Amino acid sequence: QAGAALWFCFLKPHLFLPWALVLLLWIILGRRYRILLGATSALALSCAVTWLIDPQAFAQYLHWARTSGISAEFIPCLSVALRDVVQPAARWLAYVPAILGSLWAVVYFWPRRQHWDWLRHGSLVTLISLLVAPYCWIYDQPLALPALMFGLWQTSSRKAIAGFAAICIVLELQGFWATAGLRSRWYLWPAIAWLVWYLVASRSKLSAEAVPLAAPAILT
């Protein structure tokens, strides 16, 4: 059951690259292979069901991915913006932040591997993963909510809480002036804002109820 829950991450794996690398290291070092078995079994089962429904589904998807031209379109996220600034035709540039983010995640994880906490440490890795994803739409960013809720829970700073509310309000209101819709460059800032807010909130004094937490039951 624990590993099977990770099936949801396979729906958009590009959003979890640094996080997934840390998870794999955590599984291997702790010999938690049942989690890996559960995840691969759930993925294999879902692929088998998809194939039974439509044997051509995977071939059609690969054809669409090669010919749609979507990889050259603008998506309001850091990686695509970097590609367009440096060399729009160099599509591989969109993967550079994810590679650097994955290297950072390993460096961050390694000294904490013996006491890794998926809420405290994993929240930061999640926000980094969203920031450096090869492409990420604004409607993908609710994946940051568990990390942000943990940040709200652990902080005692009213300024941090007010800052979170201000970010949410601005994000809701900007739909009125983001004339390009979901492709508007106005949506470049939220992933950066969430990360900066979380780092600031984490540095504030912990609330009296905040205590070190173990890994969530889903990953144990």
pLDDT tens digits for range 21-41: 999 999 999 999 999 999 999
For the packed helices 78-86 and 96-109, what is the interaxial angle rounded to 10 degrees? 130
Cα distances (angstroms) measured from residue 76 to each of 86, 133, 149, 150:
15, 11, 24, 26
The C-alpha atoms of residue 140 and residue 137 are separated, in whole angstroms, by 5
CB 45 within 8 A of CB 159: no
Mean pLDDT of 89-113: 95
- Tens-place pLDDT, residues 106-152: 999 999 999 999 999 999 999 999 999 999 999 999 999 999 999 99
Least confident of 13-27, 113-127, 180-194: 180-194
Residue 67's pLDDT is what?
83
176 pLDDT higher than 60: yes
Q: What is the 8-class DSSP label of residue 117?
A: -
Residue 183's pLDDT is what?
85
Nearest of 131, 119, 144, 160 to residue 17 by alpha carbon: 131
212 pLDDT higher than 60: no
Q: Identity (one letter) of the amino acid at 187?
A: Y
- Count of CA atoms in the C-beta half-sphere (13 A) of 60: 6
209 pLDDT higher than 50: no
